[in-house]
C-alpha cells in the first residue's frame, strides 16, 4: 500500500491578527494620521458619488467606500520612492499614496494645507475628465497616475497592472535600492493569467513586489466562492513560494502590521509577498446604490460589514486611549466634507438651476490625439547614415543574424541601462536563432531568460520602461504570441503615454521574427506589421538589410516610444551589406528608401519581400520603382518619398507576404488612396497571401504565402489594368 508524506510549502502562509496590546502600543501620531487619511478619503469618495449621481462624472464611479482601511493601513509604511498601482477601484490607494508623499504625518485637529487641497482637487478634476487633472483629464477615474508620489497609474483591465508593477519592482532591485512596488488587485483579479504569471515571475526573480489583494468577496455581482475552490486567496502564494498573509482589511492597524512584516521581507531582498485583506465595498460595483439593491447580496450582510467600519474602529480605539474625543472626530469629519465641498465648487457652476462643469475646465477637443507619441526630440543632433553615402568601410556579405547580435552587443557595452529578455535568449548560443549570441556571458544579469509567460514579461518590460531607469528589449519568439501578450502589448504599453496625459515615456524595444516558410504552421507564421501599425502607440520598423538593421535598431533604442523591430528568418540566413566597424549611426524613424528607381508603377514593400520584389521586377522587364518602407507605423510612413514616386508612376502595388486577414496592406492602401487619389490611374493593387494562416504542409504553406509567382502576377496586373501592353500576353 502506498505511503504518503505531507509536503511542506516553501513559503509561510499565515493569518495575522492584532490584539488590544497592539492598539495600546500604536504610536499616537500613526493613529492620528490614519484617522485623518481615512476621513479625507471617505469624504472624497462621497463627493465623487454625489457628482456621479448628478451625471457629472462621465463613465463609472467605482467607489472605495468601506475599503479605505486596507489602503491607508498598507500605504502608511511606504515611502515616496516605493511605487504602487491599482485597478478600476483605485481612488483610495491613489489618495493614500499621494497623502503619504505630501504629508507623512497628519494631525486630525490641524487645518489642511494647500498641497492636500490641491491633491483633492486635481484628483477630482481627473475623475471628471478635466484639463487640470493629473492626466489632463484623459485618464479619469480608472487611470490615475502621479509618478512623483509613487503612483504608477491605475488600470481598467482587471489584473493588467500586475506585470507592470513587476517591472517597477525589477527596476528597484536592479538599481540596488530597497524600494518596493505594491500591486493592488481585487478578488476577481486573482483568477486572471496576468496576475498568476506575474506572481510566478516575481518569485522566480525575487522581485520586491507585494500583491495586495482586496478581497471584498465580489467581482461585480459574482461571489468569490463561485469562481474558485480556494477562496482564501492568499493561498496562491503557496504555489509560487511567496510568503503570504491574510488579514482583516477593515482593521487599518492590522493591515499596517502585515505590511510592515511584508516590507521586511521585500526590503531585505527576499522577493515578493502577498497580503490578502478581507474587506467590503459598501456600495455596488459603481454608483451610490448598495449591492443589495441589485439582489446579489443581502441587507443583513451589508449591515454586518458596516458595523465594522474602519473610520469608526480607529476613532473608537483612539478615544479609548483618550487620544481624541467624539467632538474632535465630528470636527474632522466636518472639515473633510467642507474641503470637498470647496474643491468641488471650484469645478462647478449652476446654470438654470442645473449644476454643470465649468465649460472652460474641459480639455480642448484639439487635445484629442496630442501625445500619442513623443516628439522625437531625442534624435536632435544624431548622425544619420545611408548605405550609399556611408564613408566607413562596408562588408558586402555580412550575415544578417550576426549583425543583429553585434549591434546589441555594441549598445549594451555602451549603455548599461539596456536589459534584454525573452524565452531561451540566454542559452542555445543566443536563443533559437542566435540573435543574442554571446550577450549572456558578456553582460550577466542583463540577459534574462524568462518563463513562458508572454503577458508577464512583456508587461514587466513595460513597467521597466515607464520607470525609466532601464531600457528593456523584449524578444518574442514568434509574432503570433502577440495575442498571448495582447493586453500588455496593446492595452498597456501602446496606450500608456496617451492615456496618462501624453507625457509619460515608454522607451521599449520589442523584436520578433517573421517565420513564414519554416513549416511552423498556423500559429507561428504571422506578419505582425498590420496589427502593430493599427495599434496606435507603437512605432514599427522592418530593416531589410544588415546595414539598415544597425541604423534602425539604434533609432529604436534611442526612441522614447515603444518600437517594434520586425525581423525575418529569410533575412537571418541571408547576407547583405553591413558596416565593417561602425555600429553607432542612425537611420531616421520615418524614412523610406527607393531601392530601385522606375516609372511604370510604385511598389511599396518591406522586410524580406524587398529582395524577391526587386528580382521579379528585373525578371519582368517592367520599369517599376521599388520602395522599401522601412518604417511602417502610421506616424512613420514616409509620405514625401511615396508621393514623389506616385506622382511619377501613377500606380501603386503593395507587396506583402502574409495572409490578408491581419495584413498591413489594408491600412496602407486606405491611407494611400486618401492622400494620393488624384495621382492614381487605377485602384491600388495588392499582393498578399491567402485568407488562412499558413499551414505546416509545405505545399499549402507555399500557397498561403505570397512569393515570387504572386509578385510576378501583381506586376502583370498593374501593367494590364493601366492598359499598357504586355509583350508576353
Ligand atoms: C480583463 C477584464 N475583464 C473584465 C472587466 C470588467 N470588470 C471591471 S471590474 C470587474 C470586477 C472586478 O472584481 P474585483 O477584481 O474583485 O475588484 P473589485 O471591483 O471588487 O474591487 C469586472 C469584471 C475588466 N475591466 N477587465
Ligand atoms: Mg472584489
Q: What string of DSSP letters covers 400-460?
A: HHHHHHHHHHHHHHH-TTEEEEETTTTSTTTTTTTTTTTHHHHSTTSEEEPPS-HHHHHHH
Do 432 and 526 belong to one domain?
yes
Residue 641 lies in a domain: yes
Question: What's the gap in Å between 186 CA and the centre of ligand 1?
Answer: 8
CB of residue 619 inside a 6 A radius of ligand 1 = no
Question: What's the gap in Å between 156 CA and the centre of ligand 1?
Answer: 8
| Closest ligand 1 atom, residue 157 Cα | 26
Do 397 and 517 belong to one domain?
yes
Q: Which residues of 393-405 are buried (b: 16+ CB within 10 A; e: fewer)?
A: eebeebbbbbbbb
Do 188 and 291 belong to one domain?
yes
Q: How confident is the model at residue 68 (pLDDT cuts 50, 70, 90)?
A: very high
Residue 430 lies in a domain: yes
Do 273 and 413 belong to one domain?
no
| Closest ligand 1 atom, residue 88 Cα | 9
- For residue 99, the model assigns a pLDDT of 98
Question: What's the gap in Å between 230 CA and the centre of ligand 1?
Answer: 19
Question: What's the gap in Å between 188 CA and the centre of ligand 1?
Answer: 6
CB of residue 291 inside a 6 A radius of ligand 1 = no
CA-to-CA separations, 394 to 82, 405, 576, 579, 592, in angstroms, rounded: 49, 17, 10, 5, 21
Residues 591-627: tens digit of each pLDDT: 999 999 999 999 999 999 999 999 999 999 999 999 9
* Closest of 450, 439, 446, 506 to residue 476, by C-alpha: 450
- For residue 465, the model assigns a pLDDT of 98
pLDDT over 70 (residue 677): yes
CB of residue 560 inside a 6 A radius of ligand 1 = no
Do 224 and 343 belong to one domain?
yes
- For residue 710, the model assigns a pLDDT of 98
CA-to-CA separations, 120 to 348, 456, 503, 711, in angstroms, rounded: 15, 33, 22, 61
- For residue 726, the model assigns a pLDDT of 57
CB of residue 556 inside a 6 A radius of ligand 1 = no
Q: Domain containing 62: what range?
A: 13-363
Give the chain's domain count. 3
Query: Which residues pair with residue 289 across a beta bridge?
Result: none
Residue 73 lies in a domain: yes
To the nearest 10°, the Cα dihedral for 688, 689, 690, 694? Answer: -160
Residue 136 lies in a domain: yes
From 71, 220, 227, give the residue whose CB has the most ligand 1 atoms within 8 Å, as the site to mutate.
Answer: 220
- For residue 431, the model assigns a pLDDT of 85
pLDDT over 60 (residue 22): yes
More confident residue, 427 or 100: 100
- The CATH number of residue 83's host domain is 3.40.50.970
Question: What's the gap in Å between 398 CA and the centre of ligand 2?
Answer: 56
Residue nearest to atom 7 of ligand 1 (CA): 158
pLDDT over 60 (residue 156): yes
CB of residue 218 inside a 6 A radius of ligand 1 = yes
Element of type H or E holding 564: strand 562-568
Residue 372 lies in a domain: no
Choose one of 533, 549, 579: the last residue of a domain: 579
Question: What's the gap in Å between 93 CA and the centre of ligand 1?
Answer: 17
Do 323 and 441 belong to one domain?
no
CA dist 462 and 190 (Å) reads 21
- Length of the chain in terms of residues written: 729
Choose one of 339, 363, 387: the last residue of a domain: 363
Choose one of 557, 579, 601: the last residue of a domain: 579
With beta carbons less than 8 A apart as the criterion, state whether 210 and 180 touch. Answer: yes
Chain mean pLDDT for the chain:
97
CB of residue 220 inside a 6 A radius of ligand 1 = yes
Do 275 and 384 belong to one domain?
no
Residue 2 lies in a domain: no
Q: What is the pTM of this model?
A: 0.97
CB of residue 189 inside a 6 A radius of ligand 1 = yes
Burial of 3 (0-12, 13-18, 19+ CB in 10 A): exposed
Do 292 and 386 belong to one domain?
no
Residues 97-137: tens digit of each pLDDT: 999 999 999 999 999 999 999 999 999 999 999 999 999 99
Do 45 and 76 belong to one domain?
yes
pLDDT over 90 (residue 697): yes
Do 429 and 281 belong to one domain?
no
Do 426 and 463 belong to one domain?
yes
pLDDT over 80 (residue 727): no
Residue 661 lies in a domain: yes
pLDDT over 70 (residue 285): yes
Residues 207-252: tens digit of each pLDDT: 999 999 999 999 999 999 999 999 999 999 999 999 999 999 999 9
Residue 202 lies in a domain: yes
Residue nearest to atom 6 of ligand 1 (CA): 158
Q: How confident is the model at residue 430 (pLDDT cuts 50, 70, 90)?
A: confident
- The CATH number of residue 660's host domain is 3.40.50.920
From 158, 190, 490, give the residue whose CB has the most ligand 1 atoms within 8 Å, as the site to mutate.
Answer: 158
Residues 447-473: tens digit of each pLDDT: 999 999 999 999 999 999 999 999 999
Do 237 and 316 belong to one domain?
yes
* Active centre residues (catalytic): 454, 524
Amino acid at each position: 500500500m502506498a505511503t504518503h508524506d505531507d509536503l511542506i510549502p516553501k513559503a509561510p502562509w499565515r493569518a495575522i491578527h492584532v490584539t488590544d496590546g497592539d492598539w495600546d502600543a500604536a504610536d499616537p501620531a500613526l493613529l492620528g494620521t490614519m484617522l485623518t487619511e481615512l476621513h479625507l478619503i471617505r469624504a472624497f469618495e462621497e463627493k465623487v458619488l454625489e457628482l456621479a449621481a448628478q451625471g457629472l462624472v462621465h463613465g463609472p464611479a467605482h467607489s472605495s467606500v468601506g475599503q479605505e482601511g486596507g489602503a491607508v493601513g498598507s500605504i502608511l509604511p511606504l515611502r515616496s520612492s516605493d511605487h504602487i498601482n491599482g485597478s478600476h477601484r483605485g481612488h483610495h490607494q491613489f489618495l493614500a499614496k499621494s497623502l503619504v508623499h505630501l504629508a507623512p504625518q497628519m494631525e486630525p485637529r490641524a487645518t489642511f494645507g494647500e498641497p492636500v487641497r490641491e491633491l483633492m482637487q486635481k484628483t477630482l478634476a481627473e475623475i471628471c475628465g478635466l484639463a487640470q487633472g493629473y492626466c489632463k483629464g484623459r485618464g479619469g477615474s480608472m487611470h490615475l497616475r502621479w509618478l512623483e508620489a509613487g503612483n504608477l497609474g491605475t488600470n481598467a483591465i482587471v489584473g493588467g497592472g500586475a506585470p507592470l508593477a513587476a517591472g517597477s519592482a525589477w527596476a528597484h532591485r536592479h538599481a540596488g535600492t530597497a524600494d518596493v512596488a505594491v500591486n493592488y488587485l481585487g478578488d476577481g483579479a486573482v483568477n486572471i493569467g496576468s496576475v498568476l504569471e506575474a506572481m510566478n515571475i516575481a518569485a522566480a526573480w525575487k522581485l520586491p513586489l507585494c500583491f495586495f489583494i482586496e478581497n471584498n468577496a465580489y467581482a461585480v455581482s459574482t461571489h468569490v466562492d463561485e469562481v474558485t475552490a480556494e477562496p482564501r486567496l492568499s493561498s496562491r502564494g503557496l504555489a509560487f513560494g511567496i510568503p503570504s498573509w491574510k488579514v482583516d482589511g477593515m482593521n487599518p492597524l492590522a493591515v499596517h502590521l502585515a505590511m510592515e512584516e511584508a516590507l521586511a521581507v521585500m526590503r531585505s531582498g527576499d522577493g515578493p509577498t502577498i497580503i490578502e485583506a478581507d474587506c467590503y465595498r459598501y456600495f455596488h460595483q459603481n454608483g451610490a446604490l448598495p449591492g443589495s439593491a441589485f439582489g446579489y447580496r443581502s441587507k443583513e450582510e451589508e449591515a454586518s460589514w458596516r458595523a465594522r467600519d474602519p473610520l469608526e474602529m480607529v476613532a473608537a480605539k483612539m478615544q479609548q486611549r483618550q487620544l481624541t474625543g467624539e467632538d474632535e472626530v465630528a470636527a474632522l469629519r466636518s472639515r473633510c466634507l467642507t474641503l470637498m465641498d470647496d474643491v468641488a465648487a471650484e469645478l462647478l457652476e449652476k446654470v438654470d438651476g442645473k449644476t454643470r462643469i465649468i465649460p472652460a475646465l474641459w480639455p480642448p477637443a484639439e487635445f484629442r490625439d496630442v501625445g500619442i507619441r513623443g516628439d522625437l526630440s531625442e534624435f536632435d543632433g544624431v548622425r544619420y547614415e545611408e548605405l550609399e553615402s556611408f564613408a566607413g568601410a562596408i562588408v558586402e556579405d555580412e550575415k544578417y543574424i550576426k549583425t543583429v547580435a553585434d549591434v546589441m552587443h555594441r549598445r549594451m557595452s555602451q549603455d548599461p541601462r539596456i536589459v534584454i529578455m525573452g524565452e531561451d535568449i540566454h542559452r542555445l548560443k543566443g536563443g533559437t536563432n542566435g540573435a543574442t549570441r554571446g550577450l549572456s556571458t558578456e553582460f550577466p544579469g542583463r540577459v534574462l531568460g524568462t518563463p513562458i509567460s508572454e503577458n508577464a514579461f512583456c508587461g514587466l518590460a513595460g513597467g521597466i520602461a515607464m520607470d525609466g531607469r532601464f531600457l528593456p528589449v523584449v524578444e518574442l519568439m514568434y509574432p503570433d504570441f502577440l495575442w498571448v501578450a495582447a493586453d500588455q502589448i496593446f492595452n498597456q504599453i501602446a496606450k500608456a503615454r496617451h492615456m496618462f496625459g501624453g507625457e509619460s515615456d515608454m522607451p521599449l524595444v520589442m523584436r520578433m521574427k517573421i517565420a513564414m516558410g519554416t513549416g511552423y504552421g498556423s500559429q507561428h507564421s504571422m506578419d505582425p506589421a498590420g496589427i502593430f501599425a493599427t495599434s496606435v502607440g507603437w512605432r514599427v520598423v522592418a530593416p531589410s538589410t544588415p546595414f539598415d538593421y544597425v541604423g534602425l535598431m539604434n533609432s529604436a533604442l534611442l526612441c522614447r516610444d515603444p518600437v517594434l523591430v520586425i525581423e525575418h528568418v529569410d533575412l537571418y540566413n541571408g547576407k547583405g551589406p553591413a558596416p565593417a566597424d561602425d555600429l553607432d549611426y542612425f537611420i531616421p524613424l520615418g524614412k523610406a528608401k527607393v531601392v530601385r528607381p522606375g516609372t511604370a508603377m510604385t511598389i511599396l514593400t518591406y522586410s524580406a519581400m524587398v529582395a524577391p520584389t526587386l528580382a521579379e521586377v528585373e525578371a519582368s522587364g517592367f520599369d517599376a520603382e521599388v520602395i522599401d518602407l522601412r518604417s511602417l507605423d502610421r506616424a512613420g510612413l514616409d509620405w514625401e518619398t511615396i508621393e514623389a514616386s506616385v506622382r511619377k508612376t501613377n500606380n501603386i502595388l503593395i507587396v506583402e507576404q502574409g495572409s490578408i486577414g491581419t495584413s498591413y496592406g489594408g491600412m496602407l492602401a486606405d491611407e494611400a488612396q486618401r492622400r494620393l487619389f488624384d495621382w492614381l490611374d487605377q485602384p491600388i493593387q495588392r499582393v498578399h497571401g491567402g485568407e488562412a494562416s499558413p499551414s505546416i504542409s509545405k505545399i499549402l504553406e507555399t500557397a498561403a504565402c505570397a512569393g515570387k509567382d504572386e509578385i510576378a502576377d501583381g506586376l502583370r496586373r498593374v501593367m494590364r489594368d493601366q492598359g499598357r501592353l504586355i509583350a508576353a500576353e
